[in-house]
Amino acid sequence: MPTGAGKSLTFQIPAKILAGTVLVLSPLISLMKDQVDALVRTGYRAAVLNSTLTWDERQRTLALLRAGQLDILYVAPEALGEHLRGALAAAKISLIVVDEAHCISHWGHDFRPAYRQLAGLKGQFGDIPILALTATATRQVVGDIIRQLGMRKPDGFKGSFFRPNLVITTQKKGAGRETRKDILALIRKHRGESGIVYCISRKSVDDLTAWLRTNGVPARAYHAGLSDAERAESQNAFARDEASVIVATVAFGMGIDKSNVRFVIHRDLPRSLEGWYQEIGRAGRDGLESDCVLMYSWVDVVAYDRFLEEVDDPEVRAATREKTVRLFNLAESVRCRHQTLAAYFDEQIERCGSSCDACLGRDLGALLGSKTVATVPRDRASKVRVEDEPNLELFEKLRALRKSIADAEKVPAYIVFSDAVLRAMAASVPTSERELLAISGIGPVKLERYGARFLELLVGR
């Protein structure tokens, strides 16, 4: 299923029904704490085991596991050593979840060797069910996942890859345009909103970050050349709405759970369609309209050739280059972007009609001249009937309240409520607990935790 479509529900709901603990294997160490914080705020008994914990914290978590007092336990594959495997095998594990499962495949765009340790897991834990989740897997990668995890004739479920709230625009670099100025104009168009700018190299990240800062954008850099502390500081500032723009290499972002990313810009052509799809999928996870701008040139394709020299297998090397060329061809064509993207993942859809530059008949210059309002889709973000656009002044007051609560609790703002929830509040202006509960994204636990504060603002406005 695509990014933001709700894959996590496929193990979060069973965690409340099945006897025992659901074990989630995830590579996203930097996000595990945020995911656990979000679950705790909706009434789950959740914990994490990874290299960031102290010895005492680790022992407390293992004690809760042994006592059967955890609904969900997140574990990094790198942490799955012999000692931890023994502790897990002795506990009552009801379901094993392999998140970002494409990481187990050599054919995947984000292969991670630690995932190969997961082979044989099913037998070791008493033949319990395994659930593998990914947003980006071709048929070849799916076959590899099944083989590596020892699955026997598993059921397969595939959601649509079409996300109509992502508005795709492509722009060939050069031809009299200045890429930096276009990026700056896009950021200013989304002033005050969160966005990611992806670059091909660390140097490009550093140079663009410095240039944006000299032009009044307090952007932050993120790439593997920075220290762990520097990367953590940038990611935390972005997650907590303290920094609106991150300039990054692909080292940033897998599994980013921030719901209010309003734009993703690729300064350079990504390496593959899968990588591009995963990266634009970080925008608009709350269902609101978001811009995805792809800047490209053939020079970008050639630049990846030097990385291919490190690949020994000629078949893998050829397949990898073909993926880059296919993405270049998508950007060059006049065919619907979403239709071409879905076809790559073996899904046939009609032209999107209104979610890409090819269907809208407009270029980047027209996009920069238009006004974007992230509207609430009537059938997705709210159970109440929202006839009018949200009161933007009230929306900003709700955002300020959310940030003060999130800062006090030391969690990202989206963990309190998403932008879609706040926009639904600002449009329907609920004045009672019953009316608050009618908004999708507000359940009994969050109502009890935050309802009074928000109602005080809404009623007293």
pLDDT digits (tens, 9 = 90+) for 236-256: 888 888 889 999 998 786 656
* pLDDT tens digits, 203-241: 999 999 999 999 999 999 999 899 988 988 888 888 888
Q: Do 9-148 and 166-369 share a fold?
A: yes
* Predicted local distance difference test score (pLDDT) of residue 382: 37
Backbone angles phi, psi at 171, to 5 degrees: -145, 120
Q: Look over the chain and give the mean of its residue pLDDT values, rounded to a whole number.
A: 87
Average pLDDT value for residue range 58-73: 93
Mean pLDDT of 370-377: 58
| Average pLDDT score over residue span 115-139 | 80
pLDDT at 108: 61
375 confidence band (pLDDT: 50, 70, 90): low
Q: In which band, very low, low, confident or very high, does the pLDDT at 109 lie, cut at 50, 70 and 90? A: low
- Work out the average pLDDT over 282-296: 92
pLDDT at 379: 44
The reported pLDDT for the residue numbered 124 is 75
Q: Averaged over 387-392, what is the pLDDT?
A: 66
The two structure tokens encoding residue 369: 């001249």
What pLDDT does 371 receive? 66
Which range has the worst mean pLDDT, 51-60, 98-107, 217-226, 431-440? 98-107
Q: Is 169 helix (H, G, I), strand (E, B) or coil?
A: strand
Q: How is residue 115 annotated by DSSP?
A: G
Contact 118, 25 (CB under 8 A): yes
Half-sphere exposure of 398 (CA within 13 A, CB side): 28
**pLDDT at position 383, please?**
38
Q: Is the pLDDT of residue 432 over 70?
A: yes
CA distances from 189 to 14, 169, 376 (A): 42, 15, 19
Q: Tell me how far apart the alpha carbons of residues 327 and 348 are, in angstroms, rounded to a whole number.
A: 18
Mean predicted confidence (pLDDT) in 28-55 = 85
Q: Which of 119-128, 277-286, 350-359 has the lowest mean pLDDT?
A: 119-128
Alpha-carbon distance values, 433 to 394, 436, 453 (Å)? 18, 5, 11
- Asked if residue 26 lies in contact with residue 99, where contact means CB atoms within 8 angstroms, the answer is yes
Distance of alpha carbon 125 from alpha carbon 121, whole angstroms: 6
Confidence of residue 387 (pLDDT cuts 50, 70, 90): very low
The pLDDT value recorded for residue 254 is 60
User: SS3 for 298?
Assistant: helix
Q: Span 145-159, mean pLDDT? A: 88
| Confidence label for 391 from pLDDT (cuts 50, 70 and 90) | confident
Residue 90 above 90 pLDDT?
no
Q: Which residue has the higher pLDDT, 111 or 57?
A: 57
pLDDT attached to residue 138: 78
Q: Which residues contact 384 (CB under 8 A, 6 or more apart)?
A: 424, 428, 430, 435, 438, 439
Please report which confidence band the pLDDT of residue 429 belongs to, taking 50, 70 and 90 as the band edges: very high
Quick one: pLDDT band at residue 389, thresholds 50, 70, 90? low
Q: List the beta bridge partners of residue 247.
A: 197, 221
Cα(207)–Cα(23) distance, integer angstroms: 42
Domain range list for the chain: 9-148, 166-369, 392-460
- Is the Cβ–Cβ distance between 121 and 130 less than 8 Å? yes
Q: Give every CB contact of residue 274 below 8 A, 6+ residues apart in sequence.
A: 102, 108, 109, 136, 137, 138, 323
Question: What does CATH list as the number for 9-148?
Answer: 3.40.50.300
| Window from 114-118, 157-161, 301-305 with minimum mean pLDDT | 114-118
Instruction: Write out the DSSP string of 231-268.
Output: HHHHHHHHHTTS-SEEEE-TTS-TT---TTEEEEEESS
Q: What CATH number belongs to 166-369?
A: 3.40.50.300
More confident residue, 93 or 110: 93
Q: Which of 419, 427, 454, 426 is nearest to 194 (CA)?
A: 419
The CATH classification number of 392-460 equals 1.10.150.80
Q: Please give the single-letter amino acid code of residue 190.
A: H
**pLDDT band, very low/low/confident/very high, at 110 (cuts 50, 70, 90):** low
Cα–Cα separations (whole angstroms), residue 320 to 223, 273, 295, 342, 345: 22, 10, 20, 19, 16
pLDDT digits (tens, 9 = 90+) for 179-193: 999 999 999 999 989
